[in-house]
Amino acid sequence: MKIIAYSDGGRIALGIVTSPAHFVAVSDIAPDLPSSLISILEQEDGLTRLRLAAEGRQGDRALADVTLKPFLDRPNAMWALALNFKSHIAETGLQTSMEFPHLFMRTAASYVGAGEPILAPAESVARAFDYEGELGVVIGTPGRYIPVERALDHVAGYTCLNEGSVREFQMHNRQFGLGKNFEASGSYGPWLMTRDEFGDPATHTIKTRINGVVRQSAPLDDMLLGVAQVISYLSQGYRLRPGDLIAMGTPGALKPQPDDVEGHDLSRQYGPFPTPGLVHMRPGDWVEVEIDGLGVLGNPVAADAAISESGDAAQKSAA
Amino acid sequence: MKIIAYSDGGRIALGIVTSPAHFVAVSDIAPDLPSSLISILEQEDGLTRLRLAAEGRQGDRALADVTLKPFLDRPNAMWALALNFKSHIAETGLQTSMEFPHLFMRTAASYVGAGEPILAPAESVARAFDYEGELGVVIGTPGRYIPVERALDHVAGYTCLNEGSVREFQMHNRQFGLGKNFEASGSYGPWLMTRDEFGDPATHTIKTRINGVVRQSAPLDDMLLGVAQVISYLSQGYRLRPGDLIAMGTPGALKPQPDDVEGHDLSRQYGPFPTPGLVHMRPGDWVEVEIDGLGVLGNPVAADAAISESGDAAQKSAA
Collapse the DSSP code of A134 into the 3-class scheme (helix H, G, I; strand E, B; otherwise coil) and give the result: strand
Q: Give the separation between CA A138 and CA A211, rounded to whole angstroms.
A: 28
- 3-state DSSP of chain B: CEEEEEEECCEEEEEEECCCCEEEEHHHHCCCCCCCHHHHHHCCCHHHHHHHHHCCCCCCEEHHHCCEECCCCCCCCEEEEECCEHHHHHHHCCCCCCCCCEEEECCHHHEECCCCCEEECCCCCCCCEECCEEEEEEECCCECCCCHHHHHHHEEEEEEEECCEEHHHHCCCCCCHHHHCCCCCEEEEEEEEEHHHHCCHHHCEEEEEECCEEEEEEEHHHECCCHHHHHHHHCCCCCECCCCEEECCCCCCCCCCCCCHHHHCHHHCCCCCCCCCCCCCCCCCEEEEEECCCEEEEEEEEECCCHHHCHHHHHHHHC
Cis upstream peptide for B117 (omega within 30°)? no
Give the model confidence (pLDDT) of A243-254 as tens digits.
Answer: 999 999 999 999
The per-residue pLDDT for A238 is 97
Written as one letter, the residue type at A168 is: E
Q: Give the separation between CA A86 and CA A222, rounded to whole angstroms.
A: 7
Name the residue with higher pLDDT: A308 or B319: A308
Which residues in chain B are closer than 8 Å to A238, comparing Cβ atoms?
A: 107, 109, 178, 181-183
The per-residue pLDDT for A97 is 92
Q: Give the separation between CA B319 and CA B300, rounded to whole angstroms.
A: 34
Q: Is the pLDDT of residue A312 over 60?
A: no
Chain B contact present for A228, CB below 8 A: no
**pLDDT band, residue A307 (cuts 50/70/90):** confident
What interface predicted TM-score (ipTM) does this complex get?
Answer: 0.95
What is the rounded average pLDDT for all residues in chain A? 94
Residue-by-residue DSSP string for A230-250: HHHHHTTTS-B-TT-EEE---
Q: Give the separation between CA B289 and CA B210, rounded to whole angstroms.
A: 9
Chain B contact present for A314, CB below 8 A: no
**pLDDT band, residue A273 (cuts 50/70/90):** confident
Chain B contact present for A310, CB below 8 A: yes
Please name each of the domains of chain A with its CATH number: 2-68 (no CATH), 70-309 (3.90.850.10)
- Return all residues near B288 (Cβ < 8 A) that are at least 6 apart: B207, B208, B209, B296, B297, B298, B299
Give the model confidence (pLDDT) of B62-103 as tens digits.
Answer: 999 999 999 999 899 999 999 999 889 988 888 899 999 999
Which residues in chain A are closer than 8 Å to B233, comparing Cβ atoms?
A: 178
Look at A169 and B237 and tell me if their CB atoms are within 8 Å. Answer: yes
Burial class (CB in 10 A: 0-12, 13-18, 19+), B80: buried
Look at B238 and A182 and tell me if their CB atoms are within 8 Å. Answer: yes
Q: Give the separation between CA B213 and CA B218, rounded to whole angstroms.
A: 15
The per-residue pLDDT for A231 is 98
Long-range contacts of B148-153 (CB under 8 A, 24+ apart): B148/B228, B148/B229, B148/B232, B149/B228, B150/A316, B151/B227, B151/B228, B151/B229, B151/B231, B151/B232, B151/B235, B152/B195, B152/B227, B152/B228, B152/B231, B153/A316, B153/A319
The per-residue pLDDT for B314 is 40
Which residues in chain A are closer than 8 Å to B312, comparing Cβ atoms?
A: 142-145, 239
Chain A contact present for B61, CB below 8 A: no
Q: Is the pLDDT of residue A319 over 70?
A: no
Choose among B101, B37, B183: nearest CA to A77: B183
Chain A contact present for B270, CB below 8 A: no
Q: Is the pLDDT of residue A176 over 90?
A: yes
Q: Is the pLDDT of residue A311 over 80?
A: no
Measure A20 CA to nearest chain B CA, in Å: 33
The per-residue pLDDT for A314 is 40
Measure A232 CA to nearest chain B CA, in Å: 11
Q: Give the separation between CA B112 and CA B163, rounded to whole angstroms.
A: 11
Look at A313 and B176 and tell me if their CB atoms are within 8 Å. Answer: no
Collapse the DSSP code of A170 into the 3-class scheme (helix H, G, I; strand E, B; otherwise coil) and give the result: helix
- Contact call for residues B248 and B262 (beta carbons, < 8 A): no
Point out the residues of chain B with pLDDT beneath 70: 309-319
By DSSP bridging, strand A186-194 and strand A2-8 are antiparallel
Measure B219 CA to nearest chain A CA, in Å: 24
Which residues in chain A are closer than 8 Å to B74, comparing Cβ atoms?
A: 74, 76
Burial class (CB in 10 A: 0-12, 13-18, 19+), A60: exposed
Q: Is the pLDDT of residue A71 over 70?
A: yes
Question: Averaged over A197-202, what is the pLDDT?
Answer: 96
- CB contacts < 8 Å between A and B, how many? 175
- The secondary structure element, H or E, covering residue A196 is helix A195-198
Smallest Cβ–Cβ distance between A237 and the set B169, B173, B313 belongs to B169
The per-residue pLDDT for B306 is 87
Share of chain A above pLDDT 70, in %: 97
The per-residue pLDDT for B307 is 83
Q: Is the pLDDT of residue A318 over 70?
A: no
Written as one letter, the residue type at A76 is: N
CA-nearest residue of chain B to A312?
A: B143
Q: Give the separation between CA B85 and CA B250, rounded to whole angstroms.
A: 6
Q: Which of residues 185-224 of B touch A (CB under 8 A)?
A: 185
B152-162 burial, b at 16+ Cβ within 10 Å, e below that, comes to bebbbbbbbbb
Choose among A15, A12, A13: nearest CA to A4: A15
What is the Rg, in whole angstroms, of the alpha carbon atoms belonging to chain B?
19
Choose among B191, B174, B211: nearest CA to B285: B211
Give the model confidence (pLDDT) of A88-145 as tens digits.
Answer: 998 888 889 999 999 999 999 999 999 999 999 999 999 999 999 999 999 999 999 9
Give the model confidence (pLDDT) of A138-169 as tens digits.
Answer: 999 999 999 999 999 999 999 999 999 999 99
Q: Give the separation between CA B244 and CA B203, rounded to whole angstroms.
A: 23
Other C-beta atoms lying within 10 Å of the C-beta of residue A317? 12
